[in-house]
Structure 1
Amino acid sequence: MKTNVSAPSTIISVKSIALESPERGEDLLVKISAPTTGDNLPIILFAHGNGSSLDGYAPLTDYWASHGFVVIQPTFLDSRTVNLAHDDPRKPRIWRFRVDDMKRILDQLDLIEAAVPGLSGRTDRSRIAAAGHSFGGQTAGNLLGLRVLNPETKKEEDLSDSRIKAGVLFATAGLGGDSLTPFAAEHLPHLNVSFTHLTTRTLVIVGDQDDLPQKYQLTVRGPDWMYDPYLLSPGAESLLTLFGAEHLLGGISGYEVKETTDENPARVALIQRVTSAYLRHALDIEHDSWLAVQKSLSEDVNPIGRIESK
Structure 2
Amino acid sequence: MMCRLVIIFALVLTVWGCADEVVLPEAQPLKASAEALSTLYKIDKGPYQVVSSTDLILAVTADSELQLSVFYPAADDEKFPLLLFSHGNWSDKDQYDAVINHWVSHGYVVIAPNHLDCCSAMHGIINSIRYGQFGLIEERMRDFALLLDNLDRVEQLVAGLSGKIDHHRIAATGHSFGAFSAQQFGGAGTFNPDTEQFVYFRDARIKAIVAISPPGPMFDVINDKSWQQMDQPMLLTTGTWDSNARFWPDWRLHKMSFDTATPGVNYALITQGADHYLGNLICRLDREQVAQHDALKMLNVTTIAFLDAYVKELPAAKEFIVSDSLAVVSDGFSVIERR
Normalising by structure 1, report the TM-score: 0.86
Query: Within the alignment, does 1:32 sit opposite 2:75 as a pair?
Result: no
**1:222 alignment partner in structure 2:** 250
2: CA distance between counterparts of 1:76 and 1:263? Answer: 26
Asked whether the equivalents of residues 227 and 257 of structure 2 are also in contact (C-alpha less than 8 Å), the reply is yes
Other-structure match for 1:83: 123
Who is 1:198 aligned against?
230
Asked if structure 2 preserves the Cα contact closer than 8 Å seen for 1:248 and 1:260, the reply is no
Are 1:286 and 2:301 counterparts?
Answer: no
**Structure 1 counterpart of 2:58:** 19
Shifted more, 4-13 versus 83-92: the winner is 83-92
Output one character per residue of 1:102-139: Cα deviation in whole Å (capped at 9) or x when no partner: 11111110011111222222221111000111111111
Partner in structure 2 of residue 181 of structure 1: none
Change (3 A) 1:224 1:21: same
What's 1:160 paired with? 202
1:211 positional shift? 1.2
Question: Which position in structure 1 is the counterpart of 2:90?
Answer: 51
The residue identity in structure 1 corresponding to 2:261 is S
1:120 corresponds to which residue?
A: 162
Distance in 2 (alpha carbons) for counterparts of 1:116 and 1:262: 36
- Contact 2:175 2:212 (C-alpha < 8 Å) held by counterparts: yes
Partner of 1:274: 302
Distance 1:209 1:98, change over 3 A: same
Q: Distance in 2 between matches of 1:146 and 1:105?
A: 20
Q: 1:227 Cα deviation (Å)?
A: 1.3
Query: SS where residue 98 of structure 2 aligns?
Result: helix
* 1:73 corresponds to 2:73: no
| Separation (CA, whole Å) in 2 of partners of 1:94 and 1:7 | 35
- What is the SS of the residue equivalent to 1:14? strand
Stretches of structure 1 lacking an aligned partner (at least 5 in a row): 177-183
Alpha-carbon distance change, 298 to 159 in structure 1, aligned in 2, over 3 angstroms = same
Deviation at 1:202, TM superposition (A): 0.5
**Kept in 2: contact 1:246–1:261 (CA 8 A):** no
Paired with 2:72 and 2:61, the residues of 1 have a C-alpha distance of 28
- Cα distance in 2, alignment partners of residues 8 and 251 from structure 1: 26
Correspondence 1:238 to 2:267: yes
Q: Which amino acid aligns with 1:131?
A: T
Show the 5 A alignment for 1:258-269. Answer: 258-259=286-287, 261=289, 263-269=291-297
Distance 2:288 2:239 in 1: 13
Which whole-Å CA distance do the structure 2 matches of 1:209 and 1:191 have between them? 22
| In structure 2, C-alpha distance between the alignment counterparts of 1:171 and 1:72, rounded to whole Å | 20
CA contact 2:280–2:286 (8 Å) conserved in 1:
no
What secondary structure sits across from 1:168 in the alignment? strand
| SS state at 2:64 partner | coil
Equivalent residue, structure 1, for 2:333 = 304
C-alpha distance after superposition, 1:268-298 (max 9, x if no partner): 0111121011101011431213434645413
Matching residue of 1:172 = 214
Higher relative contact order (CA closer than 8 Å, sequence separation 6+): 2
AA aligned to 1:89 is R
CA deviation after TM superposition for structure 1 residue 305, in Å: 0.6
Q: Percent identity?
A: 26
What secondary structure is seen at the aligned counterpart in 2 of 1:209?
coil
2:58–2:65 contact (8 Å) kept in structure 1: yes
Query: Contact conserved, 2:46 with 2:102, CA < 8 A, in 1?
Result: no
Q: CA deviation at 1:239?
A: 1.0
Gaps of 5+ in 2: 1-36
Alpha carbons 1:138, 1:173 under 8 Å: kept: yes
Q: CA RMSD in A?
A: 2.4
2-structure distance, mates of 1:7, 1:134: 26
- For residue 214 of structure 2, give the secondary structure of its aligned residue in structure 1: coil
In 2, Cα distance between equivalents of 1:85 and 1:306: 37
Contact 2:327/2:333 (<8 A) preserved: no
1:151 is aligned to: 193
The whole-number CA distance in structure 2 between the counterparts of 1:286 and 1:250 is 32
C-alpha separation in 2, matches of 1:63 and 1:17: 21
Give 1:253's aligned residue: 282
> Are the equivalent residues in 2 in contact too, given 1:146–1:196 (CA < 8 A)?
yes
The question of whether the paired residues in 1 share the 8 Å contact of 2:190 and 2:226 is answered with yes
1:42 Cα deviation from its structure 2 partner: 0.5
Q: 1:7 to 1:134 in 2, by over 3 A?
A: closer
SS in 1 for 2:101: helix
Equivalent residues of 1:250, 1:267 under 8 A apart: no
